Every structure is written in structure tokens, then in C-alpha cells.
Structure 1
């Protein structure tokens, strides 16, 4: 199979990102007219207009946006790998500060550090568990970990975990007293073990979905926590129904200590991403850690 030259795609991605032929040409070290001809040839090859040009601005067309969503992450990954290879010439050192929620900190970051740190004794990692959507630049963090849909568009985001879903659970003893809910509306009659997050202010809604129908449940209950462990323990103690990450309850479901309900209302959704402001300002230590964390599953 013959491979084409991808320089025109890289040029298009840069023009679309910069929204300017002038700035893109300067970064590529070519003339504006030569860059314009490159984009024109790409549009003719594809048979679609990719950029809308005016005297004052440049913006992607719908086709251009779709192409950009496809090629930009690939070029960023290639660039990141090249940077990581180049940094092997230097010995990475220093401290990497990361803000993350409790669940990804325990389920993703901690296992990765077990593999990463022994081989890099000069790198220190500081992880601050924080449920708020922290401004990592203002707060002096190198990176943050959040759900994919929570990452700001101006950040570089790297997927570090698989798709995930939540589970609604209670103990067998609890469901002996109260009939298991058959629909999200039934949760209003149950003692819901809730979580309060600073980002939401109020109680965190339980997001349930089935056949394209989305429901946000704000059930009431005697207990409200701001961490995962106490919600899980309270469910195990039979104090109510909890809404927890599936991977955290699977061992207890297998052992019969918890019972799952409304499973068909808990679809998979995008998992965790590590995000940071700019690859150009990333330290060698962060670059290596990102490569270790990068999710390589299907």
C-alpha cells in the first residue's frame, strides 16, 4: 500500500488552529502564498472546501471541522511521542503536581505511579484530591484529571482510562426492608446516600439514561458525604442506596454484600482524561508521566 504525504494535512490543521494563514505560514517557515496553494490542492484532492476565508479571518467549514477533529489529535500524539523520545537525552527530574477526583486518583493514578516511580527516582509526584473543577494554571498545577466532557476546550487532553459507568447499589438487608426500585422515579421513596461537590453547590444528581431518555435524580436521604469510601461503607452497612463507580462495587456484588438495581439505566460514558495547558511548556517529567498514563485500550 502506497502512503501519501501528510504535510498538507498538517498544514491544514495548523491554519485551522491559528485561524490565520499569516501566523501559520510564519510557524511553518513558508510563504503565505505557498501555504494557500497547499490548502487549495488539499481541498481539490478531497473535493470539499475546508476553510472559509475572508479578508479578516479564516475558519473551518463543517467538513473542515470534521477533518480537524480527526487529524489534530493524531498530529498532537505524534508530536508528543517525538518530544518524549527527544527528552530521553536528558534525565527528567522535579515535581509534577496533579489535581484529581478521588476515584481516578485511586483507580488510575496510584497504580500507574507504582509502575512509574521506581524507574524515575528523581521525579516526585504530588496528587491533590479535589472534586472542584480547579483552574490548574491559577492554582499552580501541572495537570488535572477529569471526565472527558469536563475538560476545557483550550486544554490538551489525553485519555487515561476506559469508558466507565455508574452503579446504583444497596445491601441485601436494606432491600429486605424496602422494595428494589424498578425505575428512577422509585428512588424518591428510598434513603439515598448522596454526595455534595463544590462545583455543583447542591447535591450531585444521579445521571441515569435508557433508550435515549436521560433522567437526573436528586433523591433525599439521611446521609451526605464528599468522598467515595464513606458512601460505599454506608451502602454496605445497609443505610441506604448509593450511586457509585461500577469498578468500586464489583467485588461486593460478586460476594453478595451488595445488590445492584437499575442496571439498564446506567450506560457507559467517556472515562477520565488528564489535561494540561500547553505541550510546549510541559516538563520532561510530565511528558513521561503522560506517556505512562495514556490509555491504550480499544
Structure 2
């Protein structure tokens, strides 16, 4: 088999996995037109159609799906073996792709990266902030970060952070004209800053627990965000109550910019874990990062 034929097969795998010429071209660092030409050349050489194209989607034909299932694992093995060669270098090298929520990326990942990366200039890290519970293998990530209770059972999970607590907070200006809630049910009378999460199919219902009793409250208010920073800014501005990770508001509470309520309804829960499929353990670069993230508290 000629070298260019291997390239054509790799191009087909990228399109078949992404179900998109646009995304596959970006991944391969080529143009859509060049990629389309490559696929047509492969189909002509094999004498069979591999992809069904419409104006809105791309999907493998029966022949294409068979080729995807047979070649995909073999190409993946080659990629892993090439990545493992980094162990023979003076220092580990390679690119690590991680998906995480905003808070985990800021509070857990960044402090570790800031400390370890200067010592390993050949390690590159890509962090994608994503609240969805995605398939990290299918999406091409080396690992993900989620709360311990959210990690899939078929993944290896490693604790990278302490137990967490949530904090329900509002600015003194907000409480100047409103009584503090005494129970989660009282939140229906308050203006609350909502969080939109794809994993919950919409707005996140605030979760509380006390003496073994669990409550989920769907709150209302003027504002809905999907980032921590905007929710914090809105709370500091007195525009409503925010339900935030405790460590994200600790300084504001200590300095009086925010007031905490319903603290007895916010018990600790398992913190963040790094999770990954076992086949990724062969990368020396990944081992360096995992060791830097490991929670030793």
C-alpha cells in the first residue's frame, strides 16, 4: 500500500467519525474541497461509495460503516504507539485534550498546569469547557473532569479535588428589601439567578439536603447564565440569589460583599475526579499531568 493511500484512509476515518467535512477538515488542517477530493479519489479506487452526502449531513454507507469499524481500531493503535514513543525522549511530550466544567477548569486544572507546564515545555494541553456529559472517547478527548458521582462506571477515575459544598448567596443590598429565606421552599418568593446546563435539559434545579431529606427547587428570576463568572457578578450587583461552589465565593463572604443563607441545607459532596479510559495510560505526558492533579489532601 502506498503512503498516500494511508492518508486517504485516515481522511475517510476523520469524516466518518465527525459526520462532517467541515469539522474533519479543521481537524486534519486541510480545506473542505481538498478533503472532498481525497474521499472521491478513495471511493473511485475502491469502486464503492463510502459516504452518503446531503446538504445537511454526512453519514457512512454500509460499506463505509464496515470500513470504519475495521480500520478505526487499527489506526487508533498506531496513534497510541506513536504517542508512547514520547517515553523515549528526555522529557515527556505530546498533546493532552481535557473536557471540564468552568469551575473545575479554573479551580483545579489551571493551578496544576501553571505549576507543572514550565518544567515540561514539550507537553501541550487543550482544555475545552463543556457542561455536557459527552463521550470523551468518541469526541477525541484524553480525559474529562466531573464530580465523582457523575463519572461513568466504565472509566478509570482519580480524585483531584477535596469534597465540595455549595453556597447560596446574595448581596447585602439584595437583602435590604427582602427577608432571608429560612428553608428552600422560601426561594419561590425570591429573584434567583438561574444556571442553564445541557445535562439537565434546561435550567438546573437547585439541590438541597438536610437530615437525610433531599429537595430540588426550580427557581425563578430575571437572569439565566451558563457561566460561573456572570452569575457571581450578578449576585454581587444585588440582582438576585446565586447558588455557587463555596470556594468561588469564600473571599466575598469574608469581606462582606455577599451574605450566605441556608448553609445548613448545603452539606459536602464528593469533589472533582479526572476520568479516562484505561487505554490512555500509555502516554508519559498524560502520566505527568495526572500526577500533578492527584489529590493528596
TM-score scaled to structure 1, two decimals? Answer: 0.69
| Paired position in structure 2 for 1:146 | 146
Give secondary structure in 2 for the equivalent of 1:287: helix
2:114 is equivalent to residue 114 of structure 1: yes
**Structure 2: how far apart are the matches of 1:133 and 1:280?**
19
SS where residue 138 of structure 2 aligns?
coil
Write the deviation string for residues 67-93 of structure 1: whole angstroms up to 9, x where unpaired. Answer: xxxxxxxxxxxxxxxxxxxx5875310
Distance verdict in 2 for CA 1:147–1:291, change over 3 Å: same
Pairing 1:21-60 to 2, within 5 Å after superposition? none
Q: Cα offset for 1:287? A: 1.1
Deviation at 1:181, TM superposition (A): 0.2
Once residues 243 and 288 of structure 2 are traced to their aligned partners in structure 1, the CA distance between those partners, rounded to angstroms, is 34
1:192 aligned counterpart, secondary structure: coil
Deviation at 1:148, TM superposition (A): 0.4
- Residue deviations 1:88-116 (CA, integer Å, cap 9, x gap): 87531010000000001000100000111
| Residue equivalent to 1:179 | 179
8 Å contact from structure 1 (residues 156, 279) kept in 2:
no
Query: 1:1-298 alignment to 2 at 5 Å?
Result: 91-279=91-279, 281-297=281-297
How far 1:280 sits from its partner (Å)? 5.7
Whether the aligned pair in 1 keeps the contact of 2:95 and 2:124 (CA below 8 Å) is yes
CA contact (8 A) 2:281 2:287 kept: no
Query: Cα offset for 1:292?
Result: 0.8
Deviations, residues 224-251 of structure 1 (Å, cap 9, x unaligned) = 0000000000000000000000001010
Q: Cα offset for 1:282? A: 3.6
Whether contact under 8 Å (1:253, 1:260) holds in the other structure is: yes
Give the structure 1 partner of residue 28 of structure 2.
none
Gaps of 5+ in 2: 1-86
Q: Is the 8 A contact 2:100 2:131 kept in 1?
A: yes
Which consecutive unaligned segments of at least 5 residues does structure 1 have? 1-86
CA apart distance, 1:253: 0.5
What is the CA–CA distance in structure 2 between the aligned matches of 1:179 and 1:281, rounded to whole Å?
Answer: 53
Aligned-residue RMSD, C-alpha: 1.7
Counterpart-to-counterpart distance in 2, 1:96 and 1:209: 37
Rounded Cα–Cα distance in structure 2 between residues aligned with 1:122 and 1:143: 19
Query: What residue is the counterpart of 1:36 in the other structure?
Result: none
TM-score, normalised relative to structure 2: 0.70
Q: Using the alignment, how far apart are the partners of 1:146 and 1:292 within structure 2?
A: 17
Distance (Å, rounded) in 2 between the aligned partners of 1:161 and 1:138: 26
Deviations 1:144-186 (CA, angstroms, capped at 9, x unpaired) = 0000010000000000000001000000000011100000000
Task: Provide the aligned length of Structure 1 versus Structure 2.
Answer: 213
Question: Retained in 2: the 8 A contact 1:234–1:240?
Answer: yes
What secondary structure, in the 3-state scheme, does the structure 2 residue paired with 1:199 have?
A: helix
Counterpart Cα distance in 2 of 1:282 and 1:269: 31
Task: Please tell me whether the aligned partners of residues 105 and 129 of structure 1 are also in contact (alpha carbons under 8 angstroms).
Answer: yes
* Over 2 Å off, 4+ runs: 87-91, 279-282
Contact persistence 1:144–1:276 (CA under 8 A):
yes
- The separation in 2 between residues aligned to 1:248 and 1:209, in whole angstroms, is 20
Matches of 2:286 and 2:228 in 1, distance apart?
Answer: 27
